[in-house]
Amino acid sequence: MNPLDIDIRLTRGAFRLEAKIRAPGDGITVVFGPSGSGKSSLLSAIAGLAPCEGHVRLGREVLGDSAVDLHMPPNERGIGMVFQDARLFPHLTARQNIAYAFKRSPAHKRRDIGEVARFFDIAALLDRPVNNLSGGEKSRVALARALVAAPDFLLLDEPFAALDGLRRRAFIQVLLDMHARFALPMLVVTHNIDDAAALASYLVALRDGQVAAAGPFDQATREPGFAALLDPRDSGAAASGILLHSGAETGQKYLWLRADHIVLATERPVAISARNILEGEVESVRAEQDGSRLVELKTSVGVILSRVTEEAVAELGLTPGRRAWALVKVHALQH
Amino acid sequence: MLSAAEAQILSTSFSVASLALLWSLPLAIACAFLLARQFPGKFLLDGLVHLPIILPPVLTGFLLLLLFGRNGPIGHWLEQVAGIHVAFTRQGAALATAVMIFPMLVRASRIAFEALDPRLLEAAAVLRAGPLDRFFSIALPLAGPGILAGAVTAFAAGMGEFGAVITFAANIPGETQTLPLAIYAVLQQPGGESEAMRLAGLSFTLAMSGLIGAEFLQRWMTRRLKG
């Protein structure tokens, strides 16, 4: 599939967004940043809903380029979008909402509505008016509608923001399954680091309308610009998803290991569930603003971070090159 | 219950108001949709739309005569091209009524369009619906209850237009004599008060039914639309 190539500038009052981004066509790109960092503006600009300077290209196709005064309207871009608030049409039933997309989709890309409905587990509620649906049901109908429109790239603006814990994780799993099943490249906006890790292959971090970090998730999250975006309690590192998930394949690539949840030992601990122990080598130790120390440990699942006290660093002799074992509390990973 | 003359007056009124609504509504909806958004020169269109409310109805009728009369630029053209006379005909009465109810229709439609969530139109756009498609598939159905209620009210008001109609279309029984014109006519005759009272009662009943009907129609349609 085709990558999105974006280089845009736009101004909204005092706010200015400048973003040069490449979202690969083969995975999920997460746009991460605090509120007001320009995530939604970025998506609107890509979809053609908001005018901007610069260019947006999908593969070789130019969707917009202010240099040649080209601004393709949103209905011609082949860019789908799922909004935070579902935005189902209130005068139509769930089925009619999905059929709305079907009727306007290119004939050669049409997907069977029944099959899509089964995939999203919404077949039973297709004939209900959309105002009788729960938040989670609405989100799934909105996803089905966006998928049936057969876009070449799908943008998702925090579609799970209104959902709570359990339903949120279920929805993220639906997104991962959908991505795997329909091979649809996606750009997902979120401000939650666990959601970002669960979904991302690639990351674009925005701060005050500027790109603070970008690249493959595990690398981009190690850039200095990224750490500054996080709540200190969320400081941590991406581990590739091979660990800790008991059996079931989730399609998830990364887990976010918070530094606060990792205990370090300088000898192999015994009588502890062995699955949760990662052996590694200390790469660096850096002092945080609050006086604590963040120890970078290079392990088989990637570089992970552990927050320890200054005293612990001295006592254990945690210096670069030192062999150490990280203990991960498994429940801390299931946000 | 109704005399033959009264039935004819009522039928003229219905026919004039129906034609007027038919002509006025599409243009009013288009104007309202435009006015519900921002564009350069909006205040000009806004002013123009409201002109029939501000002007004395007699003046509106007179302006129509100047434009659509046999020697007016449009009236002359219509006669040459299609052989149509507008002034002093049923169609003329309908035209004058259409102009008079136009602001009311624009107002009701505009409120309905302004209440429409523009984010739904964005959602339709990313589902590949073009501007015209979005208007007919999303904006119009969702604004429908408001527009329809406005149309029923305007229809009731249209049956009662006086000044512009009598100036442009005169008071011809069976052709342009609507309810208020008939009331005016019988009042000109000595002893016409009791007939005037009957017609006034009729007029009042129709107007009230229109208002109440509009209210119920809007509630019912909104419930149906919003689930």
Domain parsing of chain B, residue ranges: 4-226
Chain B residue closest in CA terms to A94: B227
Which of 1.10.3720.10, 3.20.20.10, 1.10.1040.10, 1.20.1050.10 is the CATH number of B4-226? 1.10.3720.10
Q: How confident is the model at residue A330 (pLDDT cuts 50, 70, 90)?
A: low
Quick: pLDDT tens for B139-158.
999 999 999 999 999 999 99
pLDDT at B79: 87
3-state secondary structure of A305: strand
Q: Which of A105, A129, A130 sits opposite B128 (nearest CB)?
A: A105
Burial B154-188 (b: 16+ CB within 10 A, else e): bbbbbbbbbbbbbbbbbbeeebbbbbbbbbbbbee
What's the rounded mean pLDDT across residues A124-137? 90
Quick: pLDDT tens for B162-188.
999 999 999 999 899 999 999 999 999
What is the rounded CA–CA span in Å between residue A204 and residue A213? Answer: 6
Structural contact between residues B95 and B68, judged by C-beta atoms closer than 8 angstroms: yes
Nearest to A300 by CA among A216, A215, A218: A218
Tell me which of A146-155, A263-272, B24-33, B62-71 is least confident: A263-272
Burial A268-293 (b: 16+ CB within 10 A, else e): eeeeeeeebbbebebeebeeeeeebb
- Can you give the pTM of this predicted structure? 0.84
What is the rounded CA–CA span in Å between residue A243 and residue B90? Answer: 84
B127 interfaces chain A, CB cutoff of 8 Å: yes
- Say whether A87 and B142 touch across the interface (CB within 8 A): no
Distance (Å) from the C-alpha of residue A240 to the closest C-alpha of chain B? 34
Tell me which of A46-55, A91-100, A156-165 is least confident: A156-165
ipTM exceeding the 0.90 mark:
no
List chain A domain ranges.
4-234, 236-333
Q: Which of B126, B131, B225 sits opposite A81 (nearest CB)?
A: B126
Identify all chain A residues contacting B123, using CB atoms and an 8 Å cutoff.
81, 83, 87, 89
CATH T-level topology, domain A236-333 = OB fold (Dihydrolipoamide Acetyltransferase, E2P) (2.40.50)
Query: By CB neighbour count within 10 A (0-12 exposed, 13-18 middle, 19+ buried), where does A84 fall?
Result: middle
The interaxial angle of helices B4-35 and B140-158, nearest 10 deg, is: 140
Chain A residue closest in CA terms to B137: A100
CATH class of A4-234: alpha beta
Residue type present at position A252:
Q
Q: Across A39-48, A255-264, B214-223, which has the greatest mean pLDDT? A: A39-48
Are the folds of A4-234 and A236-333 the same? no
- Say whether A90 and B122 touch across the interface (CB within 8 A): no
